[in-house]
């Protein structure tokens, strides 16, 4: 074999290797730390997180599922009725995310990969608003206004089951604003103000009485 033939063979082998590397690079898909890659095909459904895999064209498809924290407003369009029958407008903000285990990621993919971001958010909001309506119906306006953290804790625990069925978890639920009809909230402090004023008047009267008693006793001692 001549030197020229050897050079040609080596060049062809190098070209073949480069073509194989290029083909492999095109087939190789990698997921970032903020997402999971859902691969479906002849090897079944696979969840790729924090690494890469080869996706064979025509035989497999791959789509990204975001694992980032999602934040959205929860504000039912209809007023919520408290335990007292007072109509409240409650606005809150919820933060949710896809749970990190492969089973939850697969479940979330089944629920949301075929939906737009708007439709996915609307579905989650609908579930949370239903639970919020139930919780508000068990509480008084005073409890909602003075203990918003308690409402948030109840929401997280109450929603946990339904969120888990969608592969999600509630990270936080924060009450932003509560507005009650008929100025109920602004009137909430009036009984306390009246009680404080009444207690002050009673204390003042008792102080005046004690002063009068001491003066009378002092007069008796001085005259004696």
Taking the C-alpha atoms of residue 100 and residue 18, their distance in angstroms, rounded to an integer, is: 37
**74 and 164 co-located in one domain:** yes
**97 and 179 co-located in one domain:** yes
| Higher local confidence (pLDDT), 145 or 99 | 99
Taking the C-alpha atoms of residue 194 and residue 25, their distance in angstroms, rounded to an integer, is: 77
Stretch (H or E) spanning 152: helix 148-165
Q: For the chain, how many structural domains are there in total?
A: 3
Domain span at 19: 3-66
pTM: 0.68
Secondary structure letter of residue 39 according to DSSP = E
Task: Give the CATH number for residue 115.
Answer: 3.30.479.30
pLDDT(198) > 70? no
- Residue 195 in any domain: the answer is yes
Q: What band does 31 get if pLDDT is binned at 50, 70 and 90? A: confident
Radius of gyration of the chain (CA): 35
| Strand ranges (E), 42-110 | 46-48, 52-54, 60-66, 70-74, 80-81, 87-98
Query: β-pairing, 35-41 with 168-180?
Result: unpaired
Nearest to 184 by CA among 141, 129, 131, 136: 141
Task: Give pLDDT tens digits for 171-182.
Answer: 999 988 888 765
Confidence (pLDDT) at 196: 42
């Amino acid at each position: 074999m001549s030197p020229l033939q050897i050079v040609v063979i080596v060049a062809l082998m190098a070209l073949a290797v480069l073509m194989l590397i290029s083909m492999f690079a095109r087939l190789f898909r990698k997921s970032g730390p903020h997402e999971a890659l859902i691969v479906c095909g002849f090897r079944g459904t696979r969840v790729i997180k924090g690494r890469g895999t080869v996706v064979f064209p025509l035989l497999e498809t791959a789509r990204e599922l975001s694992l980032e924290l999602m934040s959205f407003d929860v504000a039912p369009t209809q007023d919520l009725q408290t335990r007292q029958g007072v109509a409240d407008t409650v606005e809150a903000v919820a933060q949710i995310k896809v749970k990190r285990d492969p089973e939850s990621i697969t479940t979330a993919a089944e629920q949301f990969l075929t939906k737009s971001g708007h439709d996915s958010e609307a579905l989650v909001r609908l579930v949370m608003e239903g639970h919020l309506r139930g919780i508000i119906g068990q509480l008084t306006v005073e409890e909602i206004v003075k203990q918003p953290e308690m409402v948030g804790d109840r929401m997280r625990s109450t929603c946990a089951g339904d969120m888990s069925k969608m592969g999600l978890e509630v990270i936080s639920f924060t009450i932003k604003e509560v507005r009650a009809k008929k100025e109920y909230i602004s009137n909430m402090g009036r009984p306390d103000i009246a009680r404080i004023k009444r207690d002050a008047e009673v204390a003042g009267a008792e102080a005046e009485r004690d002063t009068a008693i001491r003066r009378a006793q002092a007069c008796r001692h001085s005259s004696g």
